[in-house]
Amino acid sequence: MTQPELELYRPGVTDDDVRRLTIWLNANGWQTRQQLSGALCWSERKIRDVAESMGSAIVRGQRGFKLTSELRREDLSTAAQAADAALSQGKRMIRYGLALKRQLHAQIS
């Protein structure tokens, strides 16, 4: 008998969640986590999970969240900064992962 997966380890993002966030952002433009949390009655964690599940269809940056399809010319530098930040974070995570692997390998050897 398999154990049920704990909700703690599963974002539980549904198509309806994505639809709700898409509709809200389409109508309201840039929104911060705080604004979305108040409007959608979601935790910041839920907002992050839903936005992450949407991939590049949504910009997640310093200014907040906005649908990529709704970006205007004046939004492009903000979206580019969000892309640069994601790449930078990814590089830091890779460096950490490799360093940890080296450390673990040294302890095993």
Of the listed ranges 10-14, 16-20, 104-108, the least confidently predicted one is 10-14
In sequence order, what are the residues at sequence separation of 6 or more whose Cβ sits closer than 8 angstroms to the Cβ of residue 42? 36, 50
- For residues 89-101, b (16+ Cβ closer than 10 Å) or e, as one string? eeeeeeeeeeeee
* Alpha-carbon span 73 to 65, nearest angstrom: 16
Looking at residue 6, its pLDDT comes to 46
CB 65 within 8 A of CB 29: no
Looking at residue 11, its pLDDT comes to 59
Find the DSSP H helices in the chain: 15-28, 33-40, 44-53, 76-108
Instruction: Provide the mean pLDDT of the chain.
Output: 91
Looking at residue 35, its pLDDT comes to 98
pTM: predicted TM-score of the whole model, two decimal places: 0.80
* Alpha-carbon span 67 to 27, nearest angstrom: 10
pLDDT above 60 for 5: no
pLDDT above 80 for 81: yes
Tens digit of each residue's pLDDT (9 = 90 or more) over 85-98: 999 999 999 999 99
CB 33 within 8 A of CB 47: yes
